Amino acid sequence: MENKINKTVNLDLTTIDSNIFAIFGAFSRQARREKWTQQEIDAVLEEAKSGDYDHAIATICEYCDPEDDSNSENEED
C-alpha cells in the first residue's frame, strides 16, 4: 500500500469498532478536522473500497498515524 497523498490523520484505529463503515466515518471526520480537502478524503475512500475488507483496512491504516490519545476519534462521535 502506498500513501499517494503524503498526508496522515491523527487517528488510532484500535479505538474504532471493526465495522468498515464506522472506520470510514471516523477517518472522514478526522480528515475534515485536519483540513483535508473532500477530494483527498474521497481519493482515500475510493482506494479503500476498491478491494476486500483487508484491502480497505490496509488502505486506511496507511493514512493514519496516531500521535496521542487526546485528539483521537472515539466511538461516541
pLDDT digits (tens, 9 = 90+) for 26-77: 999 999 999 999 999 999 999 999 999 999 999 999 999 998 755 444 544 4
CA 39, 27, 44, 20 torsion-angle sign? negative
CA 4, 39, 24, 64 torsion-angle sign? positive
CA distance 19 to 11: 16
What are the cell numbers at 39?
A: 477530494
pLDDT for the residue numbered 4: 83
57: helix, coil or strand? helix
Please give the angle made by the CA atoms of 63, 67 and 73, to the nearest 5 degrees: 70
pLDDT for the residue numbered 71: 46
> Is the pLDDT assigned to residue 11 strictly greater than 50?
yes
In sequence order, what are the beta bridge partners of 9?
A: 64
